[in-house]
Structure 1
Protein backbone atom coordinates (compact mmCIF):
# COMPACT_ATOMS: atom_id res chain seq x y z
CA UNK A 1 0.00 0.00 0.00
CA UNK A 2 1.35 3.40 -0.99
CA UNK A 3 1.29 5.91 1.81
CA UNK A 4 0.50 8.95 -0.33
CA UNK A 5 -2.37 11.38 -0.41
CA UNK A 6 -4.77 11.40 -3.41
CA UNK A 7 -3.82 15.03 -4.10
CA UNK A 8 -0.19 13.97 -4.61
CA UNK A 9 -1.05 11.24 -7.14
CA UNK A 10 -3.84 12.98 -9.02
CA UNK A 11 -1.57 15.05 -11.33
CA UNK A 12 0.26 11.97 -12.65
CA UNK A 13 -2.73 9.62 -12.99
CA UNK A 14 -3.56 10.59 -16.61
CA UNK A 15 0.06 10.01 -17.66
CA UNK A 16 0.21 6.64 -15.84
CA UNK A 17 -3.12 5.57 -17.36
CA UNK A 18 -1.94 6.52 -20.83
CA UNK A 19 1.37 4.69 -20.32
CA UNK A 20 -0.43 1.57 -19.12
CA UNK A 21 -2.78 1.61 -22.13
CA UNK A 22 0.19 1.94 -24.57
CA UNK A 23 1.99 -0.98 -22.90
CA UNK A 24 -1.13 -3.15 -23.13
CA UNK A 25 -1.52 -2.35 -26.85
CA UNK A 26 2.17 -3.10 -27.47
CA UNK A 27 1.86 -6.49 -25.73
CA UNK A 28 -1.23 -7.35 -27.77
CA UNK A 29 0.51 -6.38 -31.02
CA UNK A 30 3.64 -8.33 -30.08
CA UNK A 31 1.55 -11.42 -29.43
CA UNK A 32 0.27 -11.23 -33.03
CA UNK A 33 3.65 -10.85 -34.69
CA UNK A 34 6.40 -13.31 -35.45
CA UNK A 35 10.06 -13.14 -36.30
CA UNK A 36 11.89 -14.54 -39.30
CA UNK A 37 15.16 -16.18 -38.34
CA UNK A 38 17.82 -17.00 -40.95
CA UNK A 39 20.03 -19.98 -40.35
CA UNK A 40 22.58 -21.28 -42.86
CA UNK A 41 22.28 -24.90 -43.89
CA UNK A 42 24.89 -27.13 -42.33
CA UNK A 43 25.12 -29.28 -45.44
CA UNK A 44 24.07 -28.87 -49.03
CA UNK A 45 20.72 -30.56 -49.74
CA UNK A 46 20.88 -33.81 -51.67
CA UNK A 47 18.28 -35.86 -53.46
CA UNK A 48 16.13 -35.33 -56.48
CA UNK A 49 13.35 -33.00 -57.45
CA UNK A 50 11.08 -35.75 -58.75
CA UNK A 51 7.51 -34.47 -58.82
CA UNK A 52 8.59 -30.83 -58.94
CA UNK A 53 8.05 -28.38 -61.79
CA UNK A 54 10.32 -25.34 -62.09
CA UNK A 55 9.31 -22.11 -63.84
CA UNK A 56 12.56 -20.61 -65.11
CA UNK A 57 13.05 -17.46 -67.19
CA UNK A 58 14.50 -18.00 -70.67
CA UNK A 59 17.50 -15.88 -69.69
CA UNK A 60 18.68 -18.39 -67.07
CA UNK A 61 19.75 -21.58 -68.89
CA UNK A 62 22.15 -22.55 -66.07
CA UNK A 63 19.31 -22.77 -63.55
CA UNK A 64 17.14 -24.65 -66.03
CA UNK A 65 19.90 -27.19 -66.62
CA UNK A 66 20.71 -27.63 -62.94
CA UNK A 67 17.08 -28.18 -62.02
CA UNK A 68 16.50 -30.60 -64.90
CA UNK A 69 19.62 -32.53 -63.86
CA UNK A 70 18.06 -32.96 -60.38
CA UNK A 71 14.82 -34.37 -61.86
CA UNK A 72 12.53 -31.34 -62.05
CA UNK A 73 10.30 -30.73 -65.04
CA UNK A 74 11.48 -27.35 -66.30
CA UNK A 75 9.11 -24.86 -67.92
CA UNK A 76 11.12 -22.12 -69.60
CA UNK A 77 9.11 -18.93 -70.03
CA UNK A 78 9.90 -15.46 -71.34
CA UNK A 79 11.37 -13.16 -68.72
CA UNK A 80 7.87 -11.75 -68.19
CA UNK A 81 5.27 -14.36 -67.25
CA UNK A 82 2.28 -14.19 -69.63
CA UNK A 83 -0.80 -16.15 -70.75
CA UNK A 84 1.27 -18.48 -72.95
CA UNK A 85 3.51 -19.17 -69.94
CA UNK A 86 0.43 -20.08 -67.89
CA UNK A 87 -0.59 -22.62 -70.52
CA UNK A 88 2.89 -24.16 -70.53
CA UNK A 89 2.78 -24.46 -66.75
CA UNK A 90 -0.73 -25.95 -66.75
CA UNK A 91 0.40 -28.59 -69.24
CA UNK A 92 3.52 -29.40 -67.20
CA UNK A 93 1.62 -29.69 -63.91
CA UNK A 94 -1.44 -31.59 -65.15
CA UNK A 95 -0.03 -35.04 -64.34
CA UNK A 96 -0.37 -36.84 -61.08
CA UNK A 97 2.22 -36.82 -58.37
CA UNK A 98 3.03 -33.09 -58.46
CA UNK A 99 4.81 -32.22 -55.20
CA UNK A 100 5.49 -28.54 -55.82
CA UNK A 101 6.25 -25.73 -58.23
CA UNK A 102 9.48 -23.72 -57.97
CA UNK A 103 9.30 -20.19 -59.34
CA UNK A 104 12.56 -18.55 -60.36
CA UNK A 105 10.93 -15.56 -62.09
CA UNK A 106 13.01 -12.45 -61.47
CA UNK A 107 10.36 -9.88 -60.60
CA UNK A 108 7.22 -9.50 -58.51
CA UNK A 109 4.87 -8.60 -61.39
CA UNK A 110 5.68 -11.89 -63.12
CA UNK A 111 5.20 -13.80 -59.87
CA UNK A 112 1.88 -12.04 -59.30
CA UNK A 113 0.74 -12.92 -62.83
CA UNK A 114 1.73 -16.54 -62.15
CA UNK A 115 -0.40 -16.59 -58.99
CA UNK A 116 -3.31 -14.84 -60.69
CA UNK A 117 -3.24 -17.05 -63.78
CA UNK A 118 -4.62 -20.02 -61.86
CA UNK A 119 -1.91 -22.26 -63.32
CA UNK A 120 -1.09 -23.29 -59.78
CA UNK A 121 -4.58 -24.16 -58.59
CA UNK A 122 -5.94 -24.06 -55.08
CA UNK A 123 -5.45 -27.37 -53.38
CA UNK A 124 -2.74 -28.48 -55.77
CA UNK A 125 0.94 -28.67 -54.90
CA UNK A 126 2.39 -25.53 -53.30
CA UNK A 127 4.21 -22.78 -55.16
CA UNK A 128 7.67 -21.79 -53.90
CA UNK A 129 9.52 -18.66 -55.05
CA UNK A 130 13.30 -18.84 -54.97
CA UNK A 131 15.22 -15.59 -54.68
CA UNK A 132 18.85 -14.57 -54.43
CA UNK A 133 19.86 -11.23 -52.97
CA UNK A 134 16.30 -10.32 -51.94
CA UNK A 135 17.20 -9.43 -48.35
CA UNK A 136 20.39 -8.81 -46.44
CA UNK A 137 20.79 -11.43 -43.72
CA UNK A 138 24.21 -10.45 -42.43
CA UNK A 139 26.25 -7.32 -41.84
CA UNK A 140 28.52 -8.04 -44.79
CA UNK A 141 25.76 -8.81 -47.33
CA UNK A 142 25.39 -6.57 -50.34
CA UNK A 143 22.40 -4.27 -50.59
CA UNK A 144 19.30 -6.20 -51.61
CA UNK A 145 18.19 -6.27 -55.23
CA UNK A 146 14.94 -4.27 -55.57
CA UNK A 147 13.51 -6.77 -58.09
CA UNK A 148 14.34 -9.78 -55.88
CA UNK A 149 13.08 -7.96 -52.80
CA UNK A 150 9.76 -7.46 -54.60
CA UNK A 151 9.48 -11.22 -55.20
CA UNK A 152 10.35 -11.88 -51.56
CA UNK A 153 7.71 -9.36 -50.45
CA UNK A 154 5.16 -10.96 -52.76
CA UNK A 155 5.95 -14.27 -51.10
CA UNK A 156 5.33 -12.84 -47.66
CA UNK A 157 1.94 -11.49 -48.73
CA UNK A 158 1.00 -14.66 -50.63
CA UNK A 159 1.87 -16.78 -47.59
CA UNK A 160 -0.68 -14.81 -45.57
CA UNK A 161 -3.33 -14.38 -48.27
CA UNK A 162 -3.05 -17.76 -50.04
CA UNK A 163 -1.73 -20.26 -47.48
CA UNK A 164 -3.37 -23.14 -49.37
CA UNK A 165 -1.27 -22.38 -52.48
CA UNK A 166 1.92 -20.85 -51.15
CA UNK A 167 4.85 -23.04 -50.08
Structure 2
Protein backbone atom coordinates (compact mmCIF):
# COMPACT_ATOMS: atom_id res chain seq x y z
CA UNK A 1 0.00 0.00 0.00
CA UNK A 2 1.54 3.29 -0.96
CA UNK A 3 1.34 5.89 1.74
CA UNK A 4 -1.24 8.59 1.52
CA UNK A 5 -0.06 11.64 -0.31
CA UNK A 6 -0.89 14.17 2.36
CA UNK A 7 1.27 17.14 3.18
CA UNK A 8 -0.09 17.33 6.73
CA UNK A 9 2.31 16.17 9.41
CA UNK A 10 1.58 16.00 13.10
CA UNK A 11 3.56 18.29 15.42
CA UNK A 12 5.16 15.23 17.02
CA UNK A 13 6.32 13.95 13.65
CA UNK A 14 7.73 17.36 12.72
CA UNK A 15 9.75 17.33 15.97
CA UNK A 16 11.05 13.86 15.08
CA UNK A 17 12.14 15.14 11.66
CA UNK A 18 14.35 17.75 13.37
CA UNK A 19 16.55 14.97 14.80
CA UNK A 20 19.51 14.06 12.56
CA UNK A 21 19.14 10.52 11.12
CA UNK A 22 22.34 9.13 12.68
CA UNK A 23 21.75 10.69 16.12
CA UNK A 24 20.77 7.32 17.55
CA UNK A 25 20.72 8.32 21.22
CA UNK A 26 18.47 11.29 20.47
CA UNK A 27 16.14 9.09 18.42
CA UNK A 28 15.97 6.51 21.21
CA UNK A 29 15.26 9.17 23.82
CA UNK A 30 12.59 10.79 21.63
CA UNK A 31 10.83 7.49 20.98
CA UNK A 32 10.87 6.44 24.64
CA UNK A 33 9.57 9.83 25.80
CA UNK A 34 6.70 9.82 23.29
CA UNK A 35 5.91 6.12 22.88
CA UNK A 36 2.22 6.44 23.80
CA UNK A 37 1.73 9.43 21.51
CA UNK A 38 3.51 7.61 18.66
CA UNK A 39 1.11 4.68 19.01
CA UNK A 40 -1.75 7.09 18.21
CA UNK A 41 -0.21 8.54 15.04
CA UNK A 42 -1.45 7.68 11.57
CA UNK A 43 0.11 4.63 9.94
CA UNK A 44 2.64 6.45 7.74
CA UNK A 45 4.10 8.50 10.59
CA UNK A 46 3.97 5.65 13.11
CA UNK A 47 5.70 3.29 10.69
CA UNK A 48 8.48 5.76 9.92
CA UNK A 49 9.10 6.43 13.61
CA UNK A 50 9.11 2.74 14.44
CA UNK A 51 11.48 2.02 11.55
CA UNK A 52 13.86 4.79 12.69
CA UNK A 53 13.67 3.53 16.28
CA UNK A 54 14.58 -0.01 15.21
CA UNK A 55 17.49 1.33 13.14
CA UNK A 56 18.71 3.31 16.15
CA UNK A 57 18.46 0.24 18.40
CA UNK A 58 20.50 -1.75 15.91
CA UNK A 59 22.96 1.12 15.57
CA UNK A 60 23.69 1.25 19.31
CA UNK A 61 23.86 -2.53 19.65
CA UNK A 62 20.60 -3.06 21.57
CA UNK A 63 19.99 -6.26 19.63
CA UNK A 64 17.48 -7.85 22.01
CA UNK A 65 15.14 -4.89 21.90
CA UNK A 66 15.78 -4.54 18.16
CA UNK A 67 14.46 -8.08 17.64
CA UNK A 68 11.20 -7.16 19.36
CA UNK A 69 10.72 -4.02 17.28
CA UNK A 70 11.69 -5.59 13.97
CA UNK A 71 8.96 -8.21 14.51
CA UNK A 72 6.49 -5.38 15.00
CA UNK A 73 7.67 -3.70 11.78
CA UNK A 74 7.36 -6.92 9.78
CA UNK A 75 3.86 -7.46 11.14
CA UNK A 76 2.83 -3.89 10.27
CA UNK A 77 4.32 -4.23 6.79
CA UNK A 78 2.35 -7.43 6.13
CA UNK A 79 -0.87 -6.15 7.65
CA UNK A 80 -0.82 -2.90 5.67
CA UNK A 81 0.98 -4.19 2.57
CA UNK A 82 3.96 -1.86 2.95
CA UNK A 83 6.62 -3.08 0.55
CA UNK A 84 9.08 -0.19 0.45
CA UNK A 85 10.21 2.46 2.87
CA UNK A 86 12.83 5.09 2.08
CA UNK A 87 13.80 3.19 -1.07
CA UNK A 88 14.38 -0.10 0.76
CA UNK A 89 12.48 -3.35 0.54
CA UNK A 90 11.03 -3.46 4.06
CA UNK A 91 10.84 -7.23 4.42
CA UNK A 92 14.33 -7.94 3.12
CA UNK A 93 15.91 -5.14 5.14
CA UNK A 94 14.15 -6.21 8.34
CA UNK A 95 14.99 -9.88 7.85
CA UNK A 96 18.67 -9.08 7.30
CA UNK A 97 18.78 -6.87 10.41
CA UNK A 98 16.89 -9.52 12.38
CA UNK A 99 19.43 -12.17 11.35
CA UNK A 100 22.32 -9.86 12.23
CA UNK A 101 20.81 -9.16 15.66
CA UNK A 102 20.42 -12.89 16.27
CA UNK A 103 24.03 -13.39 15.17
CA UNK A 104 25.27 -10.75 17.63
CA UNK A 105 23.21 -12.36 20.41
CA UNK A 106 24.82 -15.74 19.56
CA UNK A 107 21.47 -17.17 18.44
CA UNK A 108 23.17 -18.76 15.47
CA UNK A 109 20.50 -21.32 14.62
CA UNK A 110 17.81 -18.64 14.56
CA UNK A 111 20.03 -16.34 12.50
CA UNK A 112 20.69 -19.14 10.03
CA UNK A 113 16.96 -19.85 9.72
CA UNK A 114 16.12 -16.18 9.05
CA UNK A 115 18.91 -15.89 6.48
CA UNK A 116 17.70 -18.99 4.65
CA UNK A 117 14.20 -17.48 4.54
CA UNK A 118 15.66 -14.24 3.17
CA UNK A 119 17.56 -16.16 0.49
CA UNK A 120 14.33 -17.93 -0.51
CA UNK A 121 12.76 -14.52 -1.05
CA UNK A 122 15.79 -13.11 -2.88
CA UNK A 123 18.43 -15.68 -3.90
CA UNK A 124 20.65 -12.84 -5.17
CA UNK A 125 20.66 -10.80 -1.97
CA UNK A 126 24.07 -9.11 -1.79
CA UNK A 127 24.76 -9.55 1.95
CA UNK A 128 22.81 -12.56 3.21
CA UNK A 129 25.15 -15.29 1.86
CA UNK A 130 28.14 -13.76 3.65
CA UNK A 131 26.34 -13.55 6.99
CA UNK A 132 25.04 -17.09 6.52
CA UNK A 133 28.59 -18.31 5.91
CA UNK A 134 29.74 -16.57 9.10
CA UNK A 135 26.92 -18.26 11.05
CA UNK A 136 27.83 -21.67 9.69
CA UNK A 137 31.53 -21.12 10.41
CA UNK A 138 30.83 -19.98 13.96
CA UNK A 139 28.50 -22.94 14.61
CA UNK A 140 31.21 -25.31 13.31
CA UNK A 141 33.81 -23.63 15.53
CA UNK A 142 31.49 -23.95 18.53
CA UNK A 143 31.07 -27.70 17.89
CA UNK A 144 34.83 -28.15 17.48
CA UNK A 145 35.45 -26.29 20.71
CA UNK A 146 33.10 -28.70 22.49
CA UNK A 147 34.91 -31.69 21.00
CA UNK A 148 38.27 -30.26 22.04
CA UNK A 149 37.01 -29.78 25.59
CA UNK A 150 35.83 -33.41 25.75
CA UNK A 151 39.15 -34.64 24.33
CA UNK A 152 41.11 -32.60 26.86
CA UNK A 153 38.96 -33.85 29.74
CA UNK A 154 39.37 -37.43 28.54
CA UNK A 155 43.14 -36.92 28.28
CA UNK A 156 43.39 -35.62 31.85
CA UNK A 157 41.12 -38.35 33.20
CA UNK A 158 43.15 -41.05 31.48
CA UNK A 159 46.35 -39.54 32.93
CA UNK A 160 44.86 -39.49 36.43
CA UNK A 161 43.60 -43.06 36.04
CA UNK A 162 47.05 -44.28 34.97
CA UNK A 163 48.60 -42.70 38.08
CA UNK A 164 46.28 -44.64 40.34
Normalising by structure 1, report the TM-score.
0.29
Structure with greater strand share of residues:
1
Comparing both chains, which one has the higher relative contact order based on Cα–Cα distances under 8 Å and sequence gaps of 6 or more?
1
Structure with greater helix share of residues:
2
Normalising by structure 2, report the TM-score.
0.29
Larger radius of gyration: 1
